[in-house]
């Protein structure tokens, strides 16, 4: 089993066309390379669609894939590495060491200030005590 890892963030990459309920693992290295290729083609298609609309004189936000275009090109979102093929590497599942992050903040449940250490892939998910979805039933 293999993961696709973003070199910039060290997070496990999820293909933008893959459903959220699907695993982020790949059975072989070849299938992981195919996942990288699908990701790059997806962002290239989004950029081409927006550029085509701009050439027609229409606003870029009229494009169907505008959000993917912004992911790949907008420096404010800090995700411009998404469309770079050199940003991805393939790592075996048993060799991947998840980086840990320590954050301090207030819990949404009761406002108490806490410090938590959790894996980089869990930040902002239901596993993060600083996220409201952690406390909802």
Q: Angle, to 10 degrees, between the axis of helix 29-55 and the axis of helix 66-73?
A: 110
DSSP letters for 18-30: S-TTS-S-BSSHH
pLDDT tens profile 60-111:
888 888 888 888 888 887 777 877 888 899 999 999 888 998 989 888 878 8
pLDDT at 137: 54
Q: What is the pTM of this model?
A: 0.75
* DSSP-derived 3-state class of residue 104: strand
- Provide the CA 115 distance to its chain's centre, in angstroms: 24
pLDDT at 51: 92
Residues contacting 56, CB < 8 A, separation 6+: none
């Amino acid at each position: 089993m293999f993961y696709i890892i973003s070199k910039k963030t060290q997070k496990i990459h999820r293909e933008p066309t893959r459903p959220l309920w699907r695993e982020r693992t790949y059975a072989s290295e070849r299938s992981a390379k195919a996942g990288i290729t699908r990701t790059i083609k997806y962002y290239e298609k989004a950029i081409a669609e927006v550029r085509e609309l701009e050439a027609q004189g229409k606003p870029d936000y009229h494009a169907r894939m505008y959000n993917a275009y912004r992911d790949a090109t907008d420096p404010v979102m800090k995700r411009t590495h998404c469309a770079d093929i050199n940003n991805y590497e393939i790592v075996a599942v048993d060799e991947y060491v998840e980086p840990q992050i320590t954050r301090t903040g207030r819990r949404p449940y009761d406002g108490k200030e806490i410090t938590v250490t959790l894996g980089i892939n869990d930040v902002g998910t239901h596993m993060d005590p600083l996220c409201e979805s952690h406390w909802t039933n």
